[in-house]
A and B are shown apart, each in its own frame.
Chain A
Amino acid sequence: MTSPPRVSPRSASGQVRRLFSPGLLFALPFLVLFAAFMIWPLGQGLWMSLTDTSLSAHAPSFVGLDNFTEAFKDAEMWRALGHTLWFTVISTVPLVVVALGMALLVHTGLPGQWVWRLAFFAPYLLPVGVIGLLWLWLYQPDLGLYNHLLDSLGLGTVGWLSEESVAMWAIALATLWWTVGFNFLLYLAALQSIPDHLYEAAAIDGAGGWRRLWSVTLPQLRRITVVITVLQILASLKVFDQVYLLTKGGPNGSTRPVVEYIYDVGFTGYRLGYASAISYIFFALVVLASAVQFLALRRREK
């Protein structure tokens, strides 16, 4: 696959050496894959967004910005974007807060470290297909665990995935269970790198447990919290898998995120050109979110 790049024992003449320098040969395998499966598709996607490319047989023709004007008038697209943003809000907050709580508790050094880590992190290792099967069963209206539990507490049952007002929360809950372990581990690593002398100094000053938490631990975690939140927002914006597997975007499209709309338009509706245009609108949103976060971060650091 990759033959070792030849290394000229003596430096050849300037220009040739610059062109075929060992450095370029080392980077070449990556650059080839990068060009073929990142740069080229980005360009092709942009081109397709300006055509009426379809999965059916007819040859694509150039339509200018028609796809984009259609998209901006497309109520379904705005609705899907709204769902994506809503999911991002209701998943990011608990995914950061719960992860922090877990990490603080585990880091106190209580016995059973191995068990706590396994319990909180193991779900992250489950393939999303398993998440789909598992939570469909947990949320099953008549036989599922959660309705059984609610029922035995006398609280009545909930149509977890079938009620429009509940479904998105149910998906966010499943997502919290599934992926919180990741942020938990990042917090744990950050906690372990807080220097001991800060705690020792606080102890000498007579600070109690809570005081140390507020005055040492949490301030030291500010930076990693910003980073985790940023990464979580970017990850949540890309939601598709678990929504598709749990509700297929339903009931009545009330949970369909924008990535699923791209999939539906492109592969169910055969309109690859239009799907590309929506892809680019979504891409713009992601870039915008990253830019806002980056600027906010810079300002904070100043």
Chain B
Amino acid sequence: MTSTDTGSRAAAARQVARPIRPLRPPMRRPQSRTRTNLTLGESRTARVLALTALTIGALIWLLPMSWALLTAFKSEADASDPLNWFWPENGFTLEGFSAVWERGDLPLWMLNSLLIAAAVTVITVLVSAMAGYAFSRTRFAGRRWLFVLTVAAVLVPPQILIVPWFQQMLSLHLLDTYAAVILPQTVAPAMVFILKKHFDSLPQELEEAARIDGAGHWRIFWSVLLPLSRPMLAAVAIFVFIGAWNNFLWPFVSTSDPSLMTLPVGITAVKDAYGIQYAQSMASAVLAALPLVVVFVFFQRHIVKSVATTGLGGQ
């Protein structure tokens, strides 16, 4: 393989990031190159075998969600009928959904999750892009040292920070506020690293014309580099958003007021309240899963790329 000089992550991130060069419009690229004749050979048996394996795999993978959907549309009696466990005796119903919706907390938690994930995403992307620009394009005292510190911080598991974060929010009287949930999630050293590498890959000539016209750093950042970086910014934003939308431990520790809970925390908190009401439980799971799955169906290509680009640095 090619470069062996840099750290593995950096090299791999670049290697995978290659398909999304910023100057190329992101949508035009064919979704996947068809290589049937190259990788599978011409054998019909191989094709049939591969297709069979793929179909079985996909069925196994789709089974849990299908079962959840089936349960969600059953009546409670049918859902917990051990004999007619597959097809509901009394037909399908929306009882589960309406019961969950009437409880009223699920829409609230969705809204909380949306607000929190959106705030985390906007702050993280803006702040990380600015820092990435600073590390890539400017010189200031301590720049090298601060960048090394940032890269090293990628190693810190957020799980070990929950105790001090909790203590911090307790002493600032911020527990049970949006700020407490949002702020610690906006520190994303990996995203700073990815964006710095990205800015490094943009040719300097782009800014020189602007600089000759008298543009300062802010103009260059905002009007020249950011517009060129849209695909990369979108990739980072999607990745951060999914992470924040699904984050559990910190929102779980920092909120005890049900009206401030996010979706993953809330549906867990009332799990016991559902008791043996499996249809309701699955209806709430389906509703909670819906937003991101719908988004995925519409933006599949962007999300796939986002994970491929940012995933390596983001964990």
* B164→A41 contact, CB < 8 A: yes
Looking at the complex, which one of A133, A196, A266 makes contact with B163 (CB distance below 8 Å)?
A266
Instruction: Determine the residue in chain A with the shortest Cβ distance to B282.
Output: A137
* A226→B8 contact, CB < 8 A: yes
Residues of B within 8 A of A (CB): 1, 4, 7-9, 12, 15-16, 18-19, 31-36, 38-41, 43, 46-47, 50-51, 53-54, 57-58, 61-65, 67-68, 71, 79-80, 82, 85-86, 113, 123, 126-128, 130-131, 133-135, 137-141, 143, 146, 150, 153, 155-157, 159-168, 183-184, 186-187, 189, 192, 214, 216-218, 221-222, 242, 245-246, 248-249, 253, 263-268, 271, 278, 281-282, 284-285, 288-289, 292-293, 296-297, 300, 303-304, 307-308, 311-312, 315
Looking at the complex, which one of B43, B189, B285, B292 makes contact with A134 (CB distance below 8 Å)?
B285
Looking at the complex, which one of B32, B282, B315 makes contact with A107 (CB distance below 8 Å)?
B32
> Whole-angstrom distance from the CB of B299 to the nearest CB of chain A?
11
* B296→A128 contact, CB < 8 A: no
State in angstroms the CA–CA spacing of A287 and B79 once bound together: 47
> Whole-angstrom distance from the CB of A275 to the nearest CB of chain B?
5
In the complex with contacts A120-B61, A122-B293, A37-B165 CB distance below 8 A: yes
Looking at the complex, which one of B126, B140, B164, B285 makes contact with A45 (CB distance below 8 Å)?
B164
Instruction: Determine the residue in chain A with the shortest Cβ distance to B80.
Output: A143
* B146→A31 contact, CB < 8 A: yes
> Whole-angstrom distance from the CB of A301 to the nearest CB of chain B?
4
At the interface, yes or no: A292 with Cβ under 8 Å from chain B?
Answer: no
Q: Which residues of A contact B189 (CB under 8 A)?
A: 34, 38
* B218→A7 contact, CB < 8 A: yes
At the interface, yes or no: A12 with Cβ under 8 Å from chain B?
Answer: no
State in angstroms the CA–CA spacing of A87 and B7 once bound together: 27
State in angstroms the CA–CA spacing of A272 and B298 once bound together: 45
> Whole-angstrom distance from the CB of A45 to the nearest CB of chain B?
4
Instruction: Determine the residue in chain B with the shortest Cβ distance to A237.
Output: B157
Q: Which residues of A contact B68 (CB under 8 A)?
A: 134, 137
